[in-house]
Structure 1
Amino acid sequence: MIDNASLERHIGREEQSEDRADPERLRRLSALLDRRWSPADGMPPLGHFLLFPPNEIQSRIGADGHPLRDPGGMLPAISLPRRMWAGSRIQFEGIVEPGARLVRRSRLVSAVPKSGRSGHMVFCTVAHEIRATSGGPVLISEQQDIVYREAHQGPGLAPRPVMQPEFRAEHFSGRTVGPVELFRYSALTFNAHRIHYDREYARDAEGYEGLVVHGPFLATLMFDHLLQAAGGRRVLEFSFRAVSPSFDGEDLRFGATIEGDKVRLFVTNPVGLAMTGQARLAGS
């Protein structure tokens, strides 16, 4: 049962955390993307996803690997057990220099219950603003969508939505993500959700046919493809939306089409569309 009154009471709650754009973490992200890195290269693709990681103590970690839900926290303690990062809309308003000390202010802006073919869900949107700890303008602003869903039902695996891209891409690349890459990204982000490394749990508890590729990791790979297609032009805005899960060992295909300063993007897996994206570039 979803408590709508509780959802409404949480809207507007905030939290704040501090971190450093640690060059060693950024170097390791670049290594995961199969390239060498130095601080002179600037932030690697979506490097800010590595910052402000969860730091809950071990006794407060749940059976799925996520921190236990806290009624006093910014996010509601929603009873629906499955949680995923469904998408983000990001504006790169300034430059985050490697080594910079940063502060992130986060605020819950909406919590909307919905019902569909897959059962009851709650969609939460959190607004993040990242600044230097010394003050100054916003460097990165982001609206992050988080969805909570019912537990997987039935003895079989959960079916994947089957959709196809809505446009023909001009720039393509491909990649296969295996268990090692998933482990390395989980370690980089301190993400202990078991669907990314515990095959038996992913299958038996959540109904997935394999280890799940992290949504933010898939978005990072899509952003990396965007940078290659954009030929050095700076990305001002980027958004992504998860459509269907992708699993370890699958062939992933990345597509992009650039029209002036606007970019349309997609990722496909063997079933169909896995993620969509859009971006806005600085002038050529």
Structure 2
Amino acid sequence: MSDWADWIGKSETRHDVITAGLLQRFCATIDRPVTDDIPQGLHWCLCLPDAPAAELAEDGHPAKGGFLPPILLPRRMWASSSVSFDHPLQLGDEITRVSTVASIDEKSGKSGDLVFVAVDHETRVGDVVAIRERQNIVYREPATTAAAASVASHETTDLSGWNWQRTILPTEPLLFRYSALTFNSHRIHYDRPYAMQEEGYPGLVVQGPLMATLLLNLAASELGANQLSSFAFRGQAPAFANDAIYLVGKQEGETITLAVIGHDGKEIMSAQATI
């Protein structure tokens, strides 16, 4: 086990501006009409890592990891997030984001060694805290065998328990556009041979925050813009390009339950929100 004590509390500060161009590209990516409201989820396209191309590792991530600890396990995934929307963002806002390493935990399981890194993000507009987020990143060992692609069922997926429903086909252009919006050069999202041969996936992997953004957009289409005060999601299984996914949700009082379900009926992402 490594001693990561010196990394706890390390932080970095980044700055950005919400521009009309960013808003238009974001809305075009998720097929949402452009309005004066800044959609919840756009904050994942702000204050992005910007390591030079010469400093990228083989997987496309910055080799040095920025302020993150130098975890040697090669496979990295955004596993979950818990977000508090404290104040709506507006067009033209000058953004400051402070990101801090909150914890580092090493574990061993059936899939081998794992390292979980929790990062706290505080997004500010001037002196006002607009968004707080706890992001959980998991690092894993190399893939030993290729993951089998799920076989599409001829039976209709049962979505009868969900009041809100939308079907999405995550195509290569959608994955490419979201990677461009977030300046994410992780090759599992655009380099099919790498994703299959090096990381053991059956195809291109759909970004976790993209699916979370689509769930936020589903909620906005049902409730109106910027109605959520909190949103938490957890990835249960990967989704792959050109496999249809179902965005579903239901409301019970002030509590919203959301999910991404695969064509095989299994849950890919679970989420909860409050209004």
TM-score (norm 1): 0.89
CA contact (8 A) 1:152 1:158 kept: no
CA contact (8 A) 1:123 1:145 kept: yes
Measured in 1, the distance between the counterparts of 2:222 and 2:167 equals 13
Measured in 1, the distance between the counterparts of 2:110 and 2:94 equals 45
What is the Cα deviation at residue 235 of structure 1? Answer: 0.8
Structure 2 counterpart of 1:49: 44
Structure 2 counterpart of 1:141: 132
Measured in 2, the distance between the counterparts of 1:233 and 1:56 equals 32
Distance 1:36 1:224, change over 3 A: closer
Unaligned 5+ residue runs, structure 2?
Answer: 151-156
Output aligned runs, 1:61-80, within 5 Å.
61-70=56-65, 73-80=66-73
Distance 1:34 1:74, change over 3 A: same
**How many corresponding residue pairs?**
268
Residues 156-187 of structure 1 deviation map (CA, whole Å, 9 limit, x = unaligned): 32688xxx99x932221111110011111111
Measured in 2, the distance between the counterparts of 1:45 and 1:102 equals 15
Structure 1 counterpart of 2:256: 263
Structure 2 counterpart of 1:275: 269
What is the Cα deviation at residue 230 of structure 1? Answer: 2.4
Structure 2 counterpart of 1:14: 11
Measured in 2, the distance between the counterparts of 1:173 and 1:148 equals 31
Partner residue of 2:201 out of 205, 208, 223: 208
Structure 1 counterpart of 2:147: 157
Measured in 2, the distance between the counterparts of 1:232 and 1:79 equals 41
Partner residue of 1:218 out of 189, 201, 211: 211
TM-score (norm 2): 0.92
Measured in 1, the distance between the counterparts of 2:164 and 2:108 equals 37
Measured in 1, the distance between the counterparts of 2:118 and 2:79 equals 10
CA contact (8 A) 1:69 1:78 kept: no
CA contact (8 A) 1:128 1:143 kept: yes
Unaligned 5+ residue runs, structure 1?
Answer: none
Output aligned runs, 1:225-244, within 5 Å.
225-231=218-224, 234-244=227-237
| SS of structure 2 residue aligned to 1:195 | helix
What is the Cα deviation at residue 232 of structure 1? Answer: 5.4
Measured in 2, the distance between the counterparts of 1:157 and 1:125 equals 27
Measured in 1, the distance between the counterparts of 2:127 and 2:147 equals 49
Distance 1:218 1:233, change over 3 A: closer
Q: Is 1:112 the equivalent of 2:102? A: no
Measured in 2, the distance between the counterparts of 1:177 and 1:216 equals 13
Measured in 2, the distance between the counterparts of 1:200 and 1:169 equals 36
CA RMSD of aligned residues (A): 2.0
Q: Report which stretch shifted further, 207-216 or 264-273.
A: 264-273
Identity across the alignment (%)? 37
What code does the residue aligned with 1:67 have?
A: P
Residues 103-141 of structure 1 deviation map (CA, whole Å, 9 limit, x = unaligned): 001111111111111111111111111112xx3221111
**Where has structure 1 moved over 4 Å in runs of 4 or more?**
none
